[in-house]
Amino acid sequence: MLYLIIMQTHYTQPDPNLWQGRIDPETTDMPLHWHQTVQFLDLENSNMEIHGQADKIAFLGYACEAGVARNGGRIGAAIVPDSIRKQLAKLPIHGSIILNLFDAGTVCCHRYALETTQETTANCVSNLLEHHFFSNLARWRTRHGLRAFLIAQTFNVILTLGVSYVLFG
């Protein structure tokens, strides 16, 4: 139940109006620009249908100024997800590439509730993974990269603790 409350207050469904662009004269059956192929996902809908068998790419916006504001930085990042969508919409599709593009909406930070926004983001990413976004190959590469990183971090922690033990033990 908490999950649904979080989603309702910090999740915004995708806006098809952001995905606009020119439409060239039809010379092929294939879409010519990203805005012609993008599909829209409502992550609050547990019965969402996802079309496309090839690797899928989902765009999940993160419109949050809370971390920047807490650190005394310059705000302005909250407008970036929509700005990126507007620019991606114009990109051409070259050759016979099959793009399965999905706009999964945006996680928004209200009243500087950074922690709740991060939890909502985690829930959204989990939902996308359950629907087989993030291909097996990408998952494999990421998992191995993360594993290597964590092993290095663990090794550094062990060395640090070992040095601390020698110095202060």
Q: Identify residue 20 by its one-letter amino acid code.
A: Q
**Are residues 141 and 130 located together in one domain of the fold?**
no
**Are residues 100 and 49 located together in one domain of the fold?**
yes
Number of domains in the chain: 2
pLDDT in tens, the chain (169 residues): 334 444 446 899 999 999 999 887 766 666 688 999 899 999 988 777 776 666 788 899 999 888 888 888 888 888 999 999 999 999 988 877 777 889 999 999 887 788 888 889 888 888 888 887 865 656 666 677 777 777 776 655 555 454 433 333 2
**Are residues 38 and 116 located together in one domain of the fold?**
yes
Q: What is the token pair recorded at 71?
A: 């650190």
pLDDT of residue 74: 86
- Single pTM value for the model: 0.73
* Three-class SS state of 108: strand
How many angstroms separate the CA atoms of 24 and 21, rounded?
10
Name the residue range of residue 98's domain.
2-134
Residue 52: give its domain's CATH number: 3.40.800.10
**Are residues 113 and 151 located together in one domain of the fold?**
no
Q: What is the largest CA-CA distance in the chain?
A: 76
**Are residues 118 and 163 located together in one domain of the fold?**
no
Please say whether the beta carbons of 67 and 130 come within 8 A: no
**Are residues 103 and 142 located together in one domain of the fold?**
no
**Are residues 30 and 92 located together in one domain of the fold?**
yes
**Are residues 161 and 98 located together in one domain of the fold?**
no
